[in-house]
Amino acid sequence: MANIIEIELPRGTDSALAESLAEDLRGVGDVRSSELARPKVVDPASLIVWVKLASAALPVLTSLVTLLRGRQLKNVRIKSGDKVIEVDSASAADVESLVTAMRGDD
């Protein structure tokens, strides 16, 4: 599986905040790119940040969770394929399970 994750932001998140978040994500080590998307089919009011990682590694995903928590956004989800974690309540084991799913080891 590709090392791409989706960060689903809560409905009603300000576009400028989401763009700023996408920019900050680009500064995290092992993040190759990140871009803001507005899914018109699913929910036009929602915002998603697509993030391409250099590798499915625990340290980079832990850094992303820390960055998102630092922004104090609530109800943010990180998704890779069918695996989803809730940033608000994600434990180290949850982040590890996301890495495992990204690697296709599950």
- pLDDT score of 76: 95
- Rounded Cα distance between 39 and 4, Å, is 16
Q: Is 34 exposed, middle or buried (0-12, 13-18, 19+ CB in 10 A)?
A: buried
- pLDDT score of 97: 92
Phi and psi (nearest 5°) for 19? Answer: -65, -40
- pLDDT score of 1: 47
**Residue ranges in the chain whose pLDDT is less than 50:** 1
CB atoms within 10 A of CB 98: 25
CATH architecture of the domain with range 4-103: 2-Layer Sandwich (3.30)
Q: Which two tokens stand for residue 33?
A: 């790119």
Q: Which two tokens stand for residue 91?
A: 């434990």
Domain residue spans in the chain?
4-103
